[in-house]
């Protein structure tokens, strides 16, 4: 059974940093591109970043480029999202997901809540 389990969410002050992790099991992690997405009541679902299977290539939308950094450790089957200069509008549930084809996702984690507030 494929499982993706996010961790590292919580309360962070504006301007602060946070690193999310996503532990993956049940598949050959090193074979798949992986993605982070988030969901807010206001903006809905938003794609944040994708990393290639090897980790050599990463992609971001302009909205988070320079503030968020995706990475992976294939030896640990773990995906990461380093977030910096956090703002109130980054408050969301963050999901990791396995890329199915290109730009779509067939397995998702359960989500990690990040709250940016003083």
Partner 1 sequence: DIQMTQSPSSLSASVGDGVTITCRASQSVARYLNWYQQKPGKAPKFLIYAASSLQGGVPSRFSASGSGTDFTLTISSLQPEDFATYYCQQSYDAPWTFGQGTTVDVK
Helix, coil or strand: residue 31:
helix
d(CA 51, CA 72): 8
| Binding status of residue 80 toward partner 1 by CB under 8 A | no
Chain centroid to CA 37: 6
Cβ proximity of 117 and 11 under 8 Å: yes
Range 2-61, binding partner 1 (CB under 8 A): 44-47, 59, 61
| Binding status of residue 105 toward partner 1 by CB under 8 A | yes
| Binding status of residue 75 toward partner 1 by CB under 8 A | no
| Binding status of residue 95 toward partner 1 by CB under 8 A | yes
Closest among 2, 6, 1 to 109, alpha carbons compared: 6
3-state helix, strand, coil in the chain (%, to 5): 5, 55, 40
Pick between residue 70 and residue 97 the one whose CB is nearest to partner 1.
Answer: 97
Q: Residue 10 CB, nearest distance to partner 1 (Å)?
A: 18
Pick between residue 41 and residue 75 the one whose CB is nearest to partner 1.
Answer: 41
| Binding status of residue 115 toward partner 1 by CB under 8 A | no
What is the contact surface with partner 1 in residues (CB under 8 A)? Answer: 44-47, 59, 61-63, 95, 97, 100-111
């Amino acid at each position: 059974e494929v499982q993706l389990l996010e961790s590292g969410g919580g309360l962070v002050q504006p301007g602060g940093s946070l690193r999310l992790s996503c532990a993956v099991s049940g598949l050959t992690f090193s074979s798949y591109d992986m993605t982070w997405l988030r969901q807010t009541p206001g903006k809905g679902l938003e794609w944040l970043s994708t990393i290639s299977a090897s980790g050599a290539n990463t992609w971001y939308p302009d909205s988070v480029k320079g503030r968020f950094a995706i990475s992976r450790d294939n030896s640990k089957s773990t995906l990461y999202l380093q977030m910096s200069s956090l703002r109130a509008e980054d408050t969301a549930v963050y999901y990791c997901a396995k890329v199915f084809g290109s730009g779509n996702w067939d397995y998702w984690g359960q989500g990690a809540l990040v709250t940016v507030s003083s």
